[in-house]
Amino acid sequence: MAPPNRTARVAVLGSSVQRSRSSKHAAGRARSAVVRRLVLALLVLGALALLTISFRSPTSGALHNVQGTGASILRPFQVAAERVARPFRDAYGYVAGLADAKSENAKLKREVRELRAQSTQNLAAANLAASLQKLMNYETGPTYPKDYRAVNTSVISFPSGPFAQQIAIAAGSDSGIGINTPVVSADGLVGRVTNVSHTTAVVTLITDPDSAVAAQDLTTGVSGLIAHGPGSTLILDQVSKEKLVQKGDVIVTKGTRDRRYPDLYPYGIPIGRVLSAGPSDIASFLTVQVAPYASLDSLDSVAALVATKRASKLP
Amino acid sequence: MNVVDGVKAAALLFLAAIMQVSIFAQVHILGGVPDVLLVMLVAVALLRGAIVGAAGGFFAGLLVDTASLGRLGLTSLVLTIAGYWIGRYGETTGRDRAHAPFLSVAVVTILYSFGLLLVHFVLGDRAPAGAMLRGLLPAIALNLILTAPVYALVRRLLRPFDRSDLSTEVQLLG
| pLDDT tens string B62-85 | 999 998 888 889 999 999 999 999
Q: What angle is formed at CA A58 by the lines to CA A151 and CA A69, rounded to 5 degrees?
A: 60
Contact A202 B170 (CB under 8 A): no
Burial bucket for residue A9 (CB in 10 Å: 0-12, 13-18, 19+) = exposed
A chain contacts of residue B19, beta-carbon cutoff 8 Å: 81
Which one of A7, A163, A204, A300 would you mutate to disrupt binding with B, by most B Cβ within 10 Å of its Cβ?
A163
Contact B23 A82 (CB under 8 A): yes
Contact B21 A78 (CB under 8 A): yes
Specify the higher pLDDT residue, B155 or B171. Answer: B155
Q: Which member of A33, A43, A55 has the closest CB to residue B80?
A: A43
CA distance linking residue B78 with residue B170, whole number of Å:
24
**CATH number, span A213-292:** 2.40.10.350
B chain contacts of residue A200, beta-carbon cutoff 8 Å: 69
Q: Which of B116, B26, B18, B113 is nearest to B68 (CA)?
A: B18
B chain contacts of residue A194, beta-carbon cutoff 8 Å: none
Q: What are phi and psi of A155, to 5 degrees?
A: -90, 125
Q: pLDDT by residue (tens digit) across B117-165?
A: 899 888 887 777 888 888 899 999 999 999 999 999 999 988 776 655 5
Cα B87 versus chain centre, distance: 10
Q: Using N-to-C axis directions, what is the helix angle for B74-91 and A23-56, rounded to 10°?
A: 160
Q: Which member of B25, B54, B125 has the closest CB to residue A160?
A: B25
Selection from A114-128, A133-147, A268-282, B39-53 with the highest mean pLDDT? B39-53
Q: Examine the pLDDT at A60 and tell me if it is beyond 90.
A: no
Q: pLDDT by residue (tens digit) across A73-108?
A: 888 888 888 888 888 888 887 887 787 788 888 889
* Structural domains present in chain B: 3-160 (1.10.1760.20)
pLDDT at A43: 95
The residue of chain A nearest to residue B57, with distances taken between CA atoms, is A43
Q: Using N-to-C axis directions, what is the helix angle for A23-56 and B36-67, rounded to 10°?
A: 50
Mean pLDDT along residues B89-102: 83
Specify the higher pLDDT residue, A20 or B9. Answer: B9
Decide: A129 and A116 in contact? Cβ < 8 Å: no
pLDDT at A85: 85
Cα A232 versus chain centre, distance: 12
Specify the higher pLDDT residue, A278 or B56. Answer: B56
Q: Which member of A14, A29, A159 has the closest CB to residue B173?
A: A14
Contact B26 A71 (CB under 8 A): no
Contact A67 B66 (CB under 8 A): yes
Q: Examine the pLDDT at A163 and tell me if it is beyond 80.
A: no
Confidence of residue A310 (pLDDT cuts 50, 70, 90): low
Residue A203 identity: V
Q: Return the number of CB contacts < 8 Å for A and B.
A: 162
Looking at the complex, report in whole angstroms how far the Cα of residue A52 sits from the nearest Cα belonging to chain B.
Answer: 8
pLDDT at A13: 47
pLDDT at A119: 85
pLDDT at B152: 93
A chain contacts of residue B77, beta-carbon cutoff 8 Å: 44, 47-48, 51
Contact B22 A58 (CB under 8 A): no
DSSP string, B81-119: HHHHHHHHHHHTTTTT-TTHHHHHHHHHHHHHHHHHHHH
Confidence of residue A8 (pLDDT cuts 50, 70, 90): very low
The residue of chain A nearest to residue B33, with distances taken between CA atoms, is A161
DSSP 3-state helix, strand, coil percentages of chain B (rounded to 5)?
75, 0, 25
Q: What is the pTM of this model?
A: 0.72
pLDDT at B11: 94
CA distance linking residue B158 with residue B9, whole number of Å:
8
Decide: A216 and A193 in contact? Cβ < 8 Å: no
Q: pLDDT by residue (tens digit) across B19-63?
A: 998 888 888 888 888 999 999 999 999 998 899 999 999 999 999
pLDDT at A10: 47
Q: What mean pLDDT is reported for chain A? A: 80
pLDDT at A250: 87
Contact A40 B84 (CB under 8 A): yes
Confidence of residue B14 (pLDDT cuts 50, 70, 90): very high
Mean pLDDT along residues A151-175: 83
Cβ density class A68-105: b for 16+ within 10 Å, e for less: bebbbebbebbeebbeebeeeeeeeeeeeeeeeeeeee
Q: Examine the pLDDT at A253 and tell me if it is beyond 50.
A: yes
Decide: A255 and A268 in contact? Cβ < 8 Å: yes
